[in-house]
Amino acid sequence: MSLPNPYQSYQNNSVQTASPGELTLMLYNGCLKFISQAKQAIHNKNLEENTNLLKAQKIIQELMVTLNMDAPVSQTLMPMYDYIHRRLIEANIQSSVEILGEVEGFVTEFRDTWKEVIQIHRRQQYGQGGRV
């Protein structure tokens, strides 16, 4: 009988108790992690085992599917997500670190902006202590 992994338990608990905004932030962070790992795999010429780009693509797909199209900002986000998704596919086909760098920049901007939105919301809700 194996003991439960405390790190895995913590991660599962974090996801289950996170707000929708925090879940979006986790998706952006996960996407950036997989892009970084994919870049490393390309540098190491370890292309057979590079499933990280597929994971990043799935995260972008999840962001697209869960986008609230009634919100005006969604009309801008959807084409950007679609562009990022297509570029991730191209990066995978071409094993291109350059394309990954471009995509990484976009996802980082989205993540940083989203993090700022969460912080502003928390400050409005709880006062000045709202940090992510």
pLDDT tens profile 71-85 = 999 999 999 999 999
Q: Evaluate whether 55 touches 40 at the Cβ level (below 8 Å).
A: no
Q: Using 50, 70 and 90 to split pLDDT, how confident is the model at 5?
A: confident
Tokens 């990066």, located at residue: 91
pLDDT tens profile 37-67 = 999 999 999 876 679 999 999 999 999 999 9
Of 86, 93, 85, 82, give the one whose Cα is nearest residue 50.
93
